[in-house]
Amino acid sequence: MPLIEVNSLSLAFGHGAAANQVLDRVTLEVNAGESFGLVGESGSGKTTVLRCLAGQYSHWRGELRIAGKTLAGRLDRDRCRQVQMVFQDPYGSLHPRHTVYTALAEPLRIHGLDHEAERIDAILDKVGLNGDFRFRYPHQLSGGQRQRVAIARALVLQPRILLLDEPTSALDVSVQAEILNLLDGLRERDGLTYLMVSHDLGVVAHLCDRVAVMQQGRILECLTVDALCDDQAQHPYTRLLVASSRADGASRPLAEAAA
Ligand SMILES: Nc1ncnc2c1ncn2[C@@H]1O[C@H](COP(=O)(O)OP(=O)(O)OP(=O)(O)O)[C@@H](O)[C@H]1O
Ligand SMILES: [Mg+2]
């Protein structure tokens, strides 16, 4: 049984003639322990799929299941513990006047979990930050450190699933690789399951097993990363993405040489 099942998920914003159909019968499955990528042009609905799974919208139609359990529109405590989301911009997801400790303690308090200090030390260690970071504020951290704290906050409740929305695209290239390696290691160590949005096929190829390609609220195709790298994509749009990603890769050394 897949851990995440999205079946014919549709969502519109607005009503009547002004309605904007943002998701149109999106269907995908993610197996336990898998890392699944979601790619596609800006506005195609990638973030919206994650937000539906995270319980941030309730007016969708279709079926969502986690570990065989059908999700209702409203958020329940169980789902919060099982499914956590990491956003692109860790500045936006961390409260500017809360220390790292407070940011990590908050979900523990909401869920009534004990051994707060021990859990916080352990989770900071897991994301590669030492205890000295506990009393820092977000503005006292680098971009990469902030994203480590955001990942720690998502993991502190020991979820099974991380929904990752472009987790490295706001970061410097050198730091991107560090965070991707951290995510990769965490998944292996803790048997986590990832559903990850990225506009960077290189990132997806590095971190994911399978990928779904979205356009205008629909899934165009779903294929393994091996097939994608092996030029086996069927859909012209996917082929275009692959071609432009290769062109980017080729132009990067040229751009560096010119600088
Ligand atoms: N709360 C909202 N109210 C109205 N429209 C929304 C809302 N959230 C998203 N949309 C619209 O839904 C569409 C899909 O948005 P979404 O954020 O899922 O795209 P995306 O694929 O994540 O794009 P990007 O790659 O730029 O992040 C867009 O047209 C957006 O304007
Ligand atoms: Mg998005």
- The side-by-side arrangement of strands in the sheet containing 4-13 is 20-30, 4-13, 61-66, 69-70
pTM over 0.85: yes
Q: Which ligand is nearest to the CA of 217?
A: 1
CATH number of the domain at 169, please. Answer: 3.40.50.300
98 within some domain: no
Q: Indicate whether residue 43 lines ligand 1 (CB < 6 A).
A: yes
74 within some domain: yes
Distance from the first to the final alpha carbon of the chain: 51
65 within some domain: yes
Distance 188 CA to ligand 1 centre (A): 31
Domain span holding position 68: 4-89+162-258
Integer Cα distance of 38 and 197 in angstroms: 5
Query: Do the beta carbons of residue 79 and residue 53 sit within 8 Å?
Result: no
Q: What does the pLDDT read at residue 255?
A: 34
Query: Do the beta carbons of residue 110 and residue 90 sit within 8 Å?
Result: no
53 within some domain: yes
179 within some domain: yes
What pLDDT digit, counting tens, does each position of 54-90 carry?
999 989 999 999 999 998 877 777 887 899 999 887 7
Number of compact structural domains in the chain: 1
Q: What does the pLDDT read at residue 249?
A: 66
Distance 136 CA to ligand 1 centre (A): 33
- Residue 250 clears pLDDT 60, i.e. is over it: no
One-letter amino acid of 145 = Q
Look up residue 44 and give its DSSP letter. Answer: S
* Torsion (CA) 162, 53, 32, 79 in degrees, nearest 10: 80
30 within some domain: yes
Residue whose C-alpha is closest to residue 21's, from 10, 32, 8:
10
